[in-house]
Chain A
Amino acid sequence: MTNTTKIQETKTDTDMRRIVIDPVTRVEGHGKVTILLDNEGAVKQARLHIVEFRGFERFIQGRLLWEVPVIVQRLCGICPVSHHLGAAKAMDMIVGADELTPTAEKMRRLMHYGQIVQSHATHFFYLASPDLLFGFDAPMQKRNAGGVVMEHPDMAHRGVRLRKYGQKIIETTAGKRIHGTGAIPGGINKNLTPVERDRLLADADQAIKDACDALEFIKKYMEKHQDDAEALGAFTSNRLCILDSDGAMDLYDGTLRAVDRQDKIIFENEPVVNYLQHVAEEVRNWTYMKFPFIRQLGPKEGWYSVGSLPRVTACDYIDTPLAEKARREMIEALGGKASGLTMAYHWARIIEIIHGAEKIKLLLQDPDLLRNELVVKGKRKDEGISVIEAPRGTLFHHYRVDRNDQVSMANIIVSTTQNNEPMNRAVEYVARRYLQGTEITESMLNHIEAAIRAYDPCLSCATHAVGHMPLSVSLCNEQGDIIDRKNRAYFNSQQCII
């Protein structure tokens, strides 16, 4: 265990005061990219380091099972609903609620689709669209959402509206836009009143329209900018997602399917309780984020990707008409399901916004949402496992509780972690393509960021850390000396928000 020494020599309180007096000069660098060059100046290795850690698995131990959905959603403020529902589903199992009431299940689904719309809209409009509208080499003063507001007000308003719609649905179902309490083990704590239902239903068509308009935009963009799209990486990968029993996309519940790079099935119809037979996470010493892989392919070959693109390409169909039409068009345009175009993640994300908005409209017309049967209970178990498709991909929650109802074991595999290897590969791909000489150019930095951004990494969840992730890129020669270094607040330009 010699390699553990350093990490355990963490700062004591006294040390920290020393820092206060004499701060180290290296400022901001929560996510870092390091690129290693060989003697010929070619890229030997490129790495994305995630540099924060929180320790949820440990400190959740001892908490009561009812508290878990409310605590763990605070892994992430961007998609808290995914963790809230993921944990609630695992706890359903523990309190013996094998089948929820239709009202509870549908209220949760409504909340979840609200989350999909909200999170994807935040990502696409607030974070990614500046790159697409202004180009990767536009001046940084303009390449942010403020610039979008100034020059593309239609786009900005569409984004604000869609995000607001998703957030309003979450607020109505969970009591609060961020970190609410809607789902409780065995069900839900509120139904919908007719007034709430009508208010949400009134805006449903606008949301679908906004999403369809965004689809037209991304389709045109991908047509026009094929080079740009390929510049951000194109490599096939294994993919994982959950599907309903019919092979249709189901973002709330289902069984696991994994497909390989040739689109052949690795496994399917696997109930989530077997997830440990299929998935494991490798630890590497240079990042706090682990590297999940499919066990039967091993740690080297088994890496896989999750999220919008894998979902849209690994499912047999989508069960809402506009999204299904868009899915077919995309697959045709990409020339098949196994396309590994990093930029296609954006396209798939818009398809899922459409799907989410269509589902929301259907659910809101369902009278079950107004009914009063909210919670069920059954025979108590001591273990619960759940899976849900978070906006960023498949999310596993696994808990054991002791006879006092306190958590004794927790394991969470978050979506972004499963995209760790693909993101590293995309970074390496872009680095090889854009490195000229031994200098980090603005263009290379922008492209690296855009490639990472396409995966919509929520580094807040990943590592169960709080991942603010200012990006810093350093270039090292073979001897390990730094020959160039550039810093950039990651969430900034990476995920520039305003």
Chain B
Amino acid sequence: MKEISFIIDGQKVRAQEGQTVLNAADDAGIFIPRLCNHPDLEPFGACRMCTVLINGKPQTACTHPASDGLEIQNDTPQLFNIRKSILDMLFIEGNHYCMFCEKSGFCELQALAYRFGITRPKFPYQYPRRTMDATHPDIFIDHDRCILCARCVRASRDVDHKHVFGFVGRGTAKKLAVSSAKGARDTNVSPDDKALSVCPVGTLMRKHVGYSVPIGKRLFDLMPIGSDIEEHVGKQGKE
């Protein structure tokens, strides 16, 4: 495989041809924030969190192929503000009650907001009326928390090969749905499905677990999201 190199924020990064900008940056120990992207799933380019400037143009790093000589900007005040606004919008569009959410401390949306130092969103809360699908004996789906990242849709289709999840509606009415009108109980979803483990927020959750990890020991309690990527600096090729 051909080795290439490009520049992120003035820093030369080596990568393999065929990698996306996001993957190459990960390998170089540079964290580009992302929500819909997941290493085990096909890139989707939906959430726009990973937007970077590639040769001056905004592009999603998760879908853009890395190629020789690219000039990329990632850590700039302008991009910071754009990403922060995306997070703000996600928070006000749903009902994100972090204080009692079982996913608190493991939630990637929350963790990104921590990393961005958000203390309150700048838009008014919408308090949408959404439902909970708790029909399945071992799983619940809390639509209040869904950010429409489609990780479960892709995982169920491509990894679990079950096609349980999909979207219905358009625009602000767009919502996650399961493959039966009777709810999750009537589908072949299982708590061990990849679809559940990839959910970045508290939408797809296992029942019977509760708050099994004490506060202080949760994934993002002490370490910001992305610090695992930043820690292995130099593993591949940052110079």
Contact = CB atoms under 8 A, between A and B. Distances in A.
A and B assemble together: yes
Interface of A: 62, 64, 66-67, 70-71, 74, 174-176, 179-182, 184-185, 189-190, 377, 404-406
A66 B214 contact: no
B211 A189 contact: yes
18 contacts: A64-B132, A64-B140, A64-B207, A66-B207, A66-B209, A66-B210, A67-B100, A67-B102, A70-B100, A74-B99, A74-B100, A175-B215, A185-B210, A189-B213, A190-B214, A190-B217, A405-B134, A406-B132
A76 to B, nearest CB: 14
A181 B215 CA distance: 7
Interface residues of B, number: 18
A224 to B, nearest CB: 46
A406 B210 contact: no
A175 B102 contact: no
Interface in B207-239: 207-217
Nearest to B140: A64
A190 B217 CA distance: 10
Given A62-B132, A64-B140, A406-B134, A181 B214 contact: yes
A188 to B, nearest CB: 9
A182 B214 contact: yes
A189 B215 CA distance: 9
A71 B211 contact: no
A66 to B, nearest CB: 4
Q: Which of B99, B211, B216, B217 has the most CB of A within 10 A?
A: B211
Interface of B: 99-100, 102, 132, 134-135, 140, 207-217
Contact of A66 (B102, B215, B217): B102
A175 B134 contact: no
Nearest to A181: B211
Given A67-B100, A70-B100, A74-B100, A404 B134 contact: yes
Contacts of B217: 190
Contacts of B212: 184, 189
A180 B215 contact: yes
Nearest to B104: A181
A89 to B, nearest CB: 14
B57 to A, nearest CB: 42
B101 to A, nearest CB: 8
Contacts of B140: 64, 405
Contacts of B210: 66, 184-185, 189
A176 B99 CA distance: 12
A255 B102 CA distance: 33
A175 B208 contact: no
Contacts of A66: 102, 207-211
Given A175-B214, A181-B211, 15 more contacts: A62-B132, A66-B102, A66-B209, A66-B211, A70-B99, A71-B100, A179-B99, A184-B211, A184-B212, A185-B210, A189-B212, A189-B213, A190-B217, A404-B134, A405-B134
The 7 closest A-B pairs by CB, nearest first: A175-B215, A184-B210, A181-B211, A404-B134, A190-B214, A66-B210, A70-B100
A371 to B, nearest CB: 16
Q: Which of B140, B215, B216 has the most CB of A within 10 A?
A: B215
A85 to B, nearest CB: 14
A62 B142 CA distance: 11
Q: Which of A64, A74, A180, A184 has the most CB of B within 10 A?
A: A64
Contacts of B99: 70, 74, 179
A64 B216 contact: no
Contacts of A406: 132, 134
A405 B207 contact: yes
Contacts of A64: 132, 134, 140, 207
A175 to B, nearest CB: 3
B135 A404 contact: yes
